Amino acid sequence: MGILDPDRVGEDQNIFQVFEGLFASRRNDQCAQIGLVCWGLWHRRNLWVWEHKNMSMSRLKYMVQSMLQEWKEAQKECYQHMTELQVQVWRKPPPGWVKINVDASCRADKHYVGAGWVIRDEKGGFLRAKTSRIMGRLQAREAEAWSFKEALKWTHSWRAYKCVFELDAKEVVEAINGSNVTSYFHFIIDECKDVL
């Protein structure tokens, strides 16, 4: 089967509609092949325009087939890797407890760190949430630690439940359970321990 079936292309269709129809009716590997053929033709054209080199169609076909094979191998490896990974799924807290998910956000182009907390009950129902911002730039681990500290303070002000905190910052969790070291990061960790 060819990539483009002339009987399925309407006279009033533009190139975007043609490709939309192609991609909608094809498997992923066929879509990759279409994309690689288009890229190969563009590459062949640029070789001629900019370097005055002519690539034969057989060379182009070989290049596209090689790249498609590499793509398929990469997809297999990615799929195998994904099946080996343990997928993390949010779990409800035990009965009588609430779970507080804590996270921080750092962006190099901004001069502040964002933090957010979401609290859900034992059934997974939303209870409350809050966001906060600290001016200045922090490294990711300091931002995560600061976010956790602020979540602890906020929770302490209204807490009527037993709380489970969930963070995606392994280094913060390990530092909470570890020994003291003198750094800004560990100073924040010490404040977290005081609130705990």
Please state, in angstroms and rounded to a whole number, the distance separating the CA atoms of residues 60 and 42. Answer: 11
pLDDT digits (tens, 9 = 90+) for 91-147: 899 998 999 999 988 876 777 888 899 999 999 899 889 888 888 777 788 888 888
What integer pLDDT is reported at residue 118 of this predicted model? 92
The pLDDT profile of the chain, 196 residues, written as one tens digit per residue, is 355 555 555 667 777 777 777 777 777 778 888 888 888 899 889 889 998 989 888 888 888 888 888 878 777 766 665 555 556 678 899 998 999 999 988 876 777 888 899 999 999 899 889 888 888 777 788 888 888 888 888 888 777 678 888 888 888 888 877 765 556 677 777 777 777 7
Q: Which residue ranges does the chain devote to CATH 3.30.420.10?
A: 97-195
Q: Name all contacts of 151-159 with Cβ < 8 Å and 24+ positions apart.
A: 151/100, 151/102, 151/115, 151/117, 152/192, 152/195, 152/196, 153/195, 154/117, 154/130, 155/100, 155/117, 155/119, 156/195
Mean pLDDT for the chain? 79
Instruction: Tell me which of 3.30.420.10, 3.40.50.300, 3.40.50.2300, 3.30.1330.30 is the CATH number of domain 97-195.
Output: 3.30.420.10
Supply the pTM of this predicted model: 0.50
Geometric angle at alpha carbon 54, from 53 and 55, rounded to 5°: 115
What integer pLDDT is reported at residue 1 of this predicted model? 38
Please state, in angstroms and rounded to a whole number, the distance separating the CA atoms of residues 146 and 116. Answer: 11
